[in-house]
Amino acid sequence: MTIEIYRDAWGIPHLRASDARELARAQGRVTAHDRAWQLEVERHRAQGTSASFLGTAAVPWDVLARRARLTDTAERSFKALDPDTADWVLAYVEGVNEGLAEGARRTPEFADTGLAPGRWEPWTPLAVWIATHLLFAGFPAKLWREEVIRHLGPRAVALFATDGPGTSGSNGWLAAGERTVTGQAVIAGDPHRFIEEPGVYQQIRLSCPEFDVVGLAVPGVPGTAHFGHTGSVAWAITNAMADYQDLYRERLRRTGAGVEALGPDGRWERACRVTEVVEVRGAEPVPVEVIETGRGPVVAGGPEGLTDGTLLPDDAEPPLALSLRYPPRVLADAGFAALLPLLRARTVADVDRAFDSWVEPVNVVQAADTEGGTLHRVAGRVPVRSAANRVRIVPAWEPGHEWHGWHTMPRAGLTDGIAVMANQRGPSASLGVEFAPPHRAARIAALLDERKRWSAADMPAIHTDTHLASATPLLRLLAALDGLAPAAAALRDRLLRWDRRMDAKSEAAAAYAAVRGAVVRRLAAHPAFAALTEPPAYPEVLLPWLGLTARTAFALENLLTAEELYGIDRPALVRAALEEVASPATAGTARRTWGDTHRLAPWRALPGTPYATDTYAEPALSGDHDCVLCTSAVPGLTDLAARGPAARYVWDLARREDSLWVVPLGASGVPGSAHHRDQLPLWTRGDLVPVVTDWARLTKETDDD
């Protein structure tokens, strides 16, 4: 069997093999060569063993991974795969294991931590996938809503309902042939995730006699699950914002035989229980009690309650714990049965059938083919259960909160040849609770309506649009102020003349962000919300969803436009924020631009690595949370952008070689290599690189028999 590895000018791997199995092996090998550190970090995170080389900072995640039983779920899911898919995944794992040693030798993090490359198991790609998406759907938001209901009442949930600090989103749009210059469809967009170094998406081409696909792979997982172009059909996804994970209050007790949980029929049931140990670099090992009830794994608390003995509200003895019910655990299915059929797809009907096997995350899929077919549907598994399950923590011992099968996934069409999804209430509206504000979707639709015909080359102008529609409520409050001091009045007038574009070079955008941040901080500090500053002692890894300032920042529109807000004098609060920013104490920042503080802040497993130096100074960014160019900071806390477009793509169905793509950093995860960060300047400017399909334009790296 022959494997050929080629590279384009950006170091993107183009792989060719004699069959699909050998191609998967090649994908695993080249990924290990390019991303060895990333692969091993993700493997250890999925296993709950990352603290063994990353130290105490990694302990909270490792504990959650153990308690959520990620590896056991992956093992079960692998055993349930059909033989063809299982062998294909196994081939990918073989390739990873073949390439890890060489990849580790090239990557300084292994020497810095003393980590030796380990061995991937057949189920490891499934574990990486499940671990990557465990928090993606944001089940900890139910902890936040529980606190909001407890202290402010059920009506307050809507005040804070928005795309919160722990979720991720994306833009995606489809222009059918009737709306393009070629008469064939164009699909474009950008997934929004935490920007990581190395990046969360890997540009790759996979070619064998069965198929020839370009797409964006998740390192550690074979195929191109989320985004791909086979030549005759292309697909892309956005987060559907569906709710498909439940949290249960559990009453647990110890017995001579172990642990029991009170079930919905009023009986005490035997719970599974084991003790595991998290090894920690430079510190004592941490024992972890892993408990699973009939609902699911216990992810917080235990028979003695939460870590400090705090009880959850409205309950007395015995102390309570929280269990998590999530589809891969219930089904023993990570959705990998969809991956090979996607690569083999020739039409939207093929893509549609493949996504029937999808599990998580629940996505909105857009697809088009060269025959003129289009697809706009939701894919995944969302359980049928009570409305309360979606909103908050529900009691395990009360009937009525069980799962009863799965929702049929909704479908949608196109309007005037266009479909736009940006995490707003769309075809998945019946499946979720919190959705993104409509601004990004509305802006994309408005931009697409500005002309009748689009080309692939036109699409980056949409990717990089910086108009901030969500500024309207705050600007209206500013406009209504009177009797201002001269400096505050001048600042107010300057903001009212602003074009509402969050451009990196804009001083007015920086001034708006400063006033917005001051408003957020003052709202979050108001006594009306004081009770929300002290949540129960949940595990540290879940606390970002409970941060009042961040929650206030992302719900600012709702809080400023609500008919009444617990007696808070919002005009007075906005006045005070404006005067704060206009005061002499901040005069030195009056000519600061948005890009001076709004800079990329990628996540690194080793934040203090030697290459995180001025040589790698992070760029100034345009955009903001509600712009199409969604470079997301947390107003009131920081202007640094930890989230943003984790890739951009344009799939052209007329000529695949006219397709375009870019990632935030580069194809290589090896610091100092030529392709470690060579795409960053393009990504920052909004430029994309061409998808190369001509093998003669590629550089051959190796033949392997």
Q: What is the pLDDT of residues 58-72, one digit of tens each?
A: 999 999 999 999 999
Contacts with 477 (C-beta within 8 Å, 6 or more apart), sequence order: 560, 570, 571, 574
pLDDT digits (tens, 9 = 90+) for 412-453: 999 999 999 999 999 999 999 999 999 999 999 999 999 999
Q: Locate 591 and state its tokens.
A: 């000519």
Domain boundary among 293, 325, 357: 325
Domain boundary among 291, 325, 359: 325
Residue 623 domain flag: no
Alpha carbon of 271 to those of 132, 253, 397: distances in Å?
27, 10, 14
Q: Alpha-carbon distance 135 to 141, whole Å?
A: 10
Domain span at residue 61 reads 21-134
Same domain assignment for residues 552 and 678 = no
Q: Alpha-carbon distance 397 to 251, whole Å?
A: 8
CATH of the domain at 473: 1.10.1400
Alpha carbon of 45 to those of 66, 127, 280: distances in Å?
10, 9, 13
Residue 409 domain flag: yes
CATH of the domain at 122: 1.10.439.10
Omega within 30 of 0 (cis) for the link into 318:
yes
Contacts with 615 (C-beta within 8 Å, 6 or more apart), sequence order: none
Same domain assignment for residues 437 and 417 = yes
Q: Alpha-carbon distance 206 to 212, whole Å?
A: 6
CB 218 within 8 A of CB 130: no
Q: Alpha-carbon distance 370 to 462, whole Å?
A: 23
| pLDDT-derived band at 166, boundaries 50, 70, 90 | low
Q: Alpha-carbon distance 152 to 242, whole Å?
A: 25
pLDDT at position 357: 98
pLDDT (mean) for 573-592: 86
Same domain assignment for residues 203 and 252 = no
pLDDT at position 684: 98
Contacts with 649 (C-beta within 8 Å, 6 or more apart), sequence order: 187, 188, 189, 190, 216, 227, 236, 659, 660, 661
Q: Alpha-carbon distance 595 to 599, whole Å?
A: 6
Closest CA to 681 of 617, 632, 634: 617
pLDDT at position 163: 60
pLDDT digits (tens, 9 = 90+) for 179-218: 999 999 999 999 999 999 999 999 999 999 999 999 999 9
Closest CA to 286 of 40, 605, 49, 115: 49
Give CA 32 to chain center in angstroms: 23
Average pLDDT over all residues of the chain: 94
Pairing, β 211-217 against β 227-229:
antiparallel
Q: Alpha-carbon distance 475 to 481, whole Å?
A: 10
Q: Alpha-carbon distance 653 to 123, whole Å?
A: 35
Residue 34 domain flag: yes
Same domain assignment for residues 159 and 186 = no
Same domain assignment for residues 451 and 353 = yes
pLDDT at position 311: 45
pLDDT at position 35: 98
Same domain assignment for residues 285 and 410 = no
Alpha carbon of 48 to those of 266, 280, 322: distances in Å?
34, 11, 19
Residue 637's SS3 state is coil
Same domain assignment for residues 580 and 516 = yes
pLDDT digits (tens, 9 = 90+) for 283-341: 999 999 999 999 999 999 999 887 544 444 544 445 689 999 999 999 999 999 999 99
pLDDT at position 164: 54
- What is the phi/psi pair of residue 223, to 5°? 85, -165
Q: Alpha-carbon distance 414 to 372, whole Å?
A: 13
| pLDDT-derived band at 537, boundaries 50, 70, 90 | confident
Residue 617 domain flag: no
Same domain assignment for residues 284 and 304 = yes
Q: Alpha-carbon distance 252 to 458, whole Å?
A: 59
Residue 209 domain flag: yes
Percent of the chain past pLDDT 70, that is, above it, reads 95
- Domain count within the chain: 4
- What is the phi/psi pair of residue 464, to 5°? -105, 15
CATH of the domain at 211: 3.60.20.10
Residue 378 domain flag: yes
Token pair 């049929």: residue:
408
What is the DSSP secondary-structure string of 576-615? HHHHHHHSGGGGGGTT--HHHH-BB--B-SSTT-TTSSGG
Same domain assignment for residues 219 and 345 = yes
pLDDT at position 310: 44
Give CA 558 to chain center in angstroms: 23
Q: Which one-letter DSSP state was computed for residue 164?
A: -
pLDDT at position 584: 86
Q: Locate 703 and state its tokens.
A: 């033949």
Same domain assignment for residues 251 and 120 = no
Beta carbons within 10 angstroms of residue 584's beta carbon: 7
Using N-to-C axis directions, what is the helix angle for 507-524 and 570-582, rounded to 10°? 130
In the predicted structure, residue 595 carries a pLDDT above the cut 60: yes
In the predicted structure, residue 477 carries a pLDDT above the cut 60: yes
pLDDT at position 589: 64
Omega within 30 of 0 (cis) for the link into 222:
no
Q: Alpha-carbon distance 550 to 539, whole Å?
A: 18
Alpha carbon of 109 to those of 297, 368, 466, 615: distances in Å?
33, 42, 36, 18
Q: Alpha-carbon distance 351 to 369, whole Å?
A: 10
pLDDT at position 705: 37
pLDDT digits (tens, 9 = 90+) for 479-492: 999 999 999 999 99
| pLDDT-derived band at 135, boundaries 50, 70, 90 | very high
Q: Locate 337 and state its tokens.
A: 């049965």
| pLDDT-derived band at 612, boundaries 50, 70, 90 | very low
Domain boundary among 559, 592, 625: 592
Task: Name the helix (H) or strand (E) containing 24.
Answer: helix 20-47
Same domain assignment for residues 488 and 586 = yes
| pLDDT-derived band at 169, boundaries 50, 70, 90 | confident
Residue 176 domain flag: yes
pLDDT at position 662: 98
pTM of the shown model: 0.96
Same domain assignment for residues 150 and 262 = no
pLDDT at position 613: 45
Q: Alpha-carbon distance 100 to 98, whole Å?
A: 6
Alpha carbon of 607 to those of 196, 332, 681: distances in Å?
11, 35, 22
Residue 88 domain flag: yes
